[in-house]
Structures are given as structure tokens and as C-alpha cells.
Chain A
């Protein structure tokens, strides 16, 4: 049984003439404790797969399962789902409520998930993400980008999920802050035995974080490769080779 299971998943937007097939016949599974990356250019469908899983993109076909439990169609998910799957979004400037303090954000999440011991949990979550209780009563505008992303991670960890979906978690951050956040995610994964599904356009970041990587092009998964293959630049598919070449840097032509 895999942590995440995708079988023949297609996702589309719109109907009839306006229909866009964002993902076509995607198949992959992510094992427990594994870190799996999705890469591709913008519009290749990598984020859409995550959005379909979480119910943010309701039109999909095929089969998806989380820890062996099939995911129902439509956009509603039960509490069990959210207890095991949580998501961290790209832009911490957009994903936090500007008029709620860190304390409000975390206590609301904990309350919704039926926890009683909210007080000590908030303290522990803030410690976990390296912020400490000094940040508890701050508002998002009083935090830097990296600190905000830490709050977003704390919120995702609040229901004690086993799977974290990371949608470009560091692309809005400076490289020095990116290093801190990636290190934090690595630590949290080891500590809480988390499974990661990570989307990024930065191949070096994905190589650093993931053991297996799926390459997407125009809605299709063209290749699933191990990180060693990727580092050795020996992928099978020509598109992957092109993508790797481009990410190695600019060469004067």
C-alpha cells in the first residue's frame, strides 16, 4: 500500500469547446516516507495534480488513493483526508490571512481538527518550525517571507498529517532563505516520518529534496526517474534531457 496512489488520472478545466486537458492519464505512486518530485514547465500540469487530489480542481477521472483510502470525486474531502494530507503553498504573502495573528491561524486549525490541548500544541508547533513563542502574537506583515513560510508550514503540520504537498514552497523566497526552509523541511520529514509530494520548476531544488522525480510535459508524465539518474544527466526521454540542459545554465551561443 502506497501513501499516495494515482491511476490513470486526468484533470480538465471547462467544458465543450473551452475544455482544457491539464493532466492526461497520470500514473504514479509514492511510498510511505518517500519524497517524490514533479517537475516541468509552467502549464505542464504539475500543480494541477496536487490540486485535483486536494479537491481544488474538481473535474477529474481515474483513481486516486491516500494511504489506501480511495479519494472521492468532487471537491469535498472528509476530515480523515485533511488529517493525513496537508498542503504548503507557493506564496506565503498570499496564503496567510493578513488580519489574523499567528496564534489565531494555528488555533483555528487545531480547533477545526478537534484538538483540546490547543495551548501547548501551538507552542510546540512554533518550536518545530524554528520560530519560538515570541512570534505567536505577530501578524503576517510583521514577519519576513521566510518566517511567513514557516508559519504556513506550522499550520500544515497542525493536524499531524503523514503527507505534505509542497507546491513551489521556496520559489517566492531569496536563496539564503530558501536554504533555511529546505533544511527545515528535511528535518521535519525525518522527525515526523513525513511523505512529501513536491512541485518545483527548479531542478536543483527537487534533486536536493526528492528521491524520485516525475517529469511532466503538456499534461503528461513523460518520465519517472531516480535522483541519481537525474544528477548523472542520463534520463531516457529527450524532453528531460532538454530540461536538464537548460537548467544547467546559460551558454553563450
Chain B
């Protein structure tokens, strides 16, 4: 069986005044119908990896890869017009902050209906039907009212659930979620994650979950890639993340204050230049 997504030797480069900056350096991984977490600090290349799968890196940024295959089809060979068929319909993406991803001058209902009709053929009333169903699926109470609301009338948690509804309405095969809950309060965070979890499982989707929060990824995902300086330094089963071996992963885990164990001082990560030099690890 071919995996859902295969990424081989992915590089993302940005030319700058002082030379070429390699944001992602030779990353390879495959993804089945599972939840894959990508963790790392800011600048580690985790978001760039997510975006380059959808070919969303704008010039002068350059993406090169041996291949990025979705169900065996190489996305790198597709034209821009063909990519538009992929984006949203087969792979969709949830960004960090709903404030910047929803259209502020369009009602929630119209945005959801548009999202469906761009990809599927059908009447407006059918689209409306789907939109209402999707809002219920993301646990929005009173979906009729929310359909008429504009984004500024919604809380952050509601906005993010609507983003998820909008991304899932064309029934994609793969969802890329880039820090989907970082802008939300902890209590709302759990709710949004549960909804995502359920939808991914019910529909048999693949999920790439990009986050800086190690504990969250350990609890939520099946497998984890840990990125540092554009490379994958370690990969492991998510529930074994706390037994990770790489000094970088260990350092990140140890630098977190913990509720259950008081510490006098927090451990400070000591960076080893060799971490950035070793080639990417290839997940088994």
C-alpha cells in the first residue's frame, strides 16, 4: 500500500543579502493515515516544511525535493493551476490565529459555503446544508446564528473551530495544522484538539500537527519528528517522546517548568553546533 504522503529530500532556500539561507535541509518522511507531530523551536523549519507540501512558499523562496508524493502523485511536477485543485480539496491547512485566516467582511456561513462550492458541484442550498452539518460537527451550539455572524463576533476558540470546519468541508485526505491551538486558552485548547482528533479518526485522514509544545504533541500524536536548524534530529513514537535520546530533545523537555515537580532552577539548553551539521534522520 502506498503511503498517503511521501516527502523525499526536501529543501527550502531563501536568498538573502549575505548568501543563501537554508530553512529546511534535506527532510524526508512518509505519512500514513495517522497523526504526525513536527516539533521544534522558532526558526527550526517546521512551518516551512508544512507550507512547502502545499507549495505555498513564495518567490524568492525556493523549494526543491526529490519528490513530494500524495497518493503516489508527485506534487512537485504539478502546475500552479493543478496545485489549486490540490489545495483545500485534497490537502488543507489550519493556521495559528483565526483572526488572520477568516475573512473579516464575510459572514461565517458565506465563507463555509464558498469553501464547499469551490471544490464540489452542487446547489447553494446543498452547500448550506453541509455547512450547518460541519458547524455541528465542530460542536458549535446554535449553528444557524453562527452562520450569520461575522468573525469579529466570535471568540478565539469559536473562530478556530470554524477554521477547522472550513478546512474539512471539502473532505481532504490530509490536514496540516500549524500551531492550531497556540492562540487559545488551555481549556478551549483541549476542546479544539478533541474535535480535530475525532474528525481525523472518523474520516480516516492524515494529520500533520506542527507545534512548539512538546507535551501536547506527546499526548496528541502518534509519531513525532523533532526539528532543529532545518533538519530532523530525532524521530520517535509520540508516547515515547519522554524517553527521547537526542540531547536537543532532552534539553527542550528538561527546560520546561513542571507542575508536579518543583525545581530550584530550570535546566538551560546547551547547544552543540554539531546538531545542525548531522544529516536529517530518516524515520523508519
Contacts and interface: CB of A to CB of B under 8 A. Distances in A.
A174 B190 contact: no
Interface string A161-185: 0000000000000111011101100
Q: How large is the interface on B (under 10, 10 to 19, 20 to 34, 35 or more residues)?
A: 20 to 34
A243 B197 contact: no
B185 A175 contact: no
Contacts of B193: 250
B20 interface: no
Nearest to A145: B42
A242 B220 CA distance: 19
A41 B219 contact: no
A252 interface: yes
Given A201-B186, A243-B186, A176 B259 contact: no
Nearest to A242: B187
B185 A41 contact: yes
B269 A176 contact: yes
A202 to B, nearest CB: 8
A204 B187 contact: no
A253 B212 contact: no
A246 interface: yes
Interface in B252-276: 252, 255-260, 262-263, 265-269
A204 B212 contact: no
Contacts of B188: 41
Contact of B251 (A176, A230, A246): A176
B156 interface: yes
B194 interface: yes
B216 interface: yes
Contacts of A41: 185-188
A42 interface: yes
Contact of A247 (B251, B255, B259): B259
A182 B257 contact: yes
B136 interface: no
A250 B263 contact: no
A207 interface: yes
Nearest to B194: A253
Q: How large is the interface on A (under 10, 10 to 19, 20 to 34, 35 or more residues)?
A: 20 to 34
B215 A175 contact: no
A244 B251 CA distance: 25
Contact of B259 (A174, A183, A207, A251): A207
Contact of B185 (A178, A201, A227, A253): A201
A205 interface: yes
A230 B259 contact: yes
A246 B194 CA distance: 12
A243 B259 contact: no
A176 B271 CA distance: 10
B260 A231 contact: yes
A186 interface: yes
Contact of B267 (A179, A201, A243): A179
Given A174-B42, A248-B259, A250-B189, 18 more contacts: A41-B186, A174-B212, A175-B214, A176-B41, A176-B255, A176-B269, A179-B266, A182-B257, A183-B265, A183-B266, A204-B259, A205-B257, A207-B259, A207-B262, A246-B190, A249-B216, A251-B190, A252-B219
14 contacts: A41-B186, A174-B42, A175-B252, A175-B255, A176-B251, A176-B255, A178-B266, A179-B256, A179-B268, A182-B266, A207-B259, A231-B259, A246-B190, A251-B190
Interface of A: 41-42, 145, 174-176, 178-180, 182-183, 186, 201, 203-205, 207-208, 227, 230-231, 242-244, 246-253
